Homo-oligomer: A and B are copies of this chain.
């Protein structure tokens, strides 16, 4: 299956990249080096044009990056600007650059046509600079293709089985299908669970109506909000989106981003935490613990699934009703990827 190239891929939590050392990461199997020039982030091909040593073993020198094999120095535009021991610099001594932007505490890299890189297409996540939310974060490396993780996140019915221990959501995720809506670059899911004693996020003595909504956006970014409301709220707002100022607790936000690093490898970034009015650092730490348990459960299942797929001659799936989310999203991916390949690169 194709991936969309004209999209912003999460390369890293910005907190995980030092401002004075280059950082290596592959996206769509292309080796990249990220580094901090004097006033901005730079993403270059991680391959010196001289002898193909990785620039990520190099040294940041102000607005340039020096290869530490034979000393070639590259500008923020990927142009070689110094070759020690010689005067002239051949024109081919340059490396590819990638648009990169820091937003919502993530570094995003545009893998397609640079002329089309549009910052407004960065998914509207919530960063650590947002005073309303108390977030924790992490990432996991998968030995599995990103598409399998996307499919997992596009159908939460698996929560009833894979996450029976961690999220303790019971049968409801498997038995009832969420509301589903297509977006221009993704799919939106929402679900009311009515008259329940809260959830793992917040146990409640009185019964509540719990709401959750998430967008899953190109190339593979999940943004989810949850909240608990007085019993009856779901019906009162006609099972549509509630007014969050009416929430009595359990208001949290999580963002999750799936980045295909190689053909069969991925990095899975995540944050989670409560709204400042509905929790504190202790709740954040508890939620992060639950998330780490749950994401480990997914990893076991998805990596095992990948191994079975790899051993299957002509792998094909038998779709079920819960696959409507994955089907809609993957159709969108196919459409965008096809549009790209038929459009000449500027």
Does A199 make an interface contact (CB < 8 A)?
A: no
The quantity of this chain's copies bound in the complex is 3
User: B174, B312, B317: which contacts A50 (Cβ < 8 A)?
Assistant: B317
Q: Which residue of B lies closest to A30 (CB)?
A: B311
Measured CB to CB, the closest approach of chain B to A93, in angstroms, equals 5
B50/A84 in contact, CB under 8 A? no
- Contact mask A241-270 → B, CB, 8 Å, 1/0? 000000000000000000000000000000
Docked Cα-Cα span, A68 to B31, in Å, equals: 36
Docked Cα-Cα span, A57 to B67, in Å, equals: 45
Measured CB to CB, the closest approach of chain B to A152, in angstroms, equals 9
Residue among A31, A157, A300, A318 with the most chain B CB within 10 A? A318
- Contact mask A207-222 → B, CB, 8 Å, 1/0? 0000000000000000
B162/A52 in contact, CB under 8 A? no
Given A50-B320, A85-B175, A320-B83, A158:B70 Cβ within 8 A: yes
Q: List 25 A-B contacts (CB under 8 A).
A: A47-B308, A49-B317, A50-B318, A51-B151, A52-B315, A52-B317, A53-B304, A53-B305, A54-B305, A54-B308, A57-B300, A57-B301, A57-B304, A68-B161, A69-B161, A69-B301, A70-B155, A70-B158, A70-B320, A71-B161, A84-B174, A85-B176, A86-B320, A86-B321, A90-B318
List of 6 A-B pairs having minimum Cβ-Cβ separation, nearest first: A84-B174, A86-B321, A68-B161, A53-B305, A49-B318, A52-B308
The residues of A with any CB-CB pair to B shorter than 8 Å are 29, 31, 46-47, 49-54, 57, 66-72, 83-86, 90, 92-93, 151, 155, 157-158, 160-162, 171, 174-177, 300-301, 304-305, 307-309, 311-312, 315, 317-322
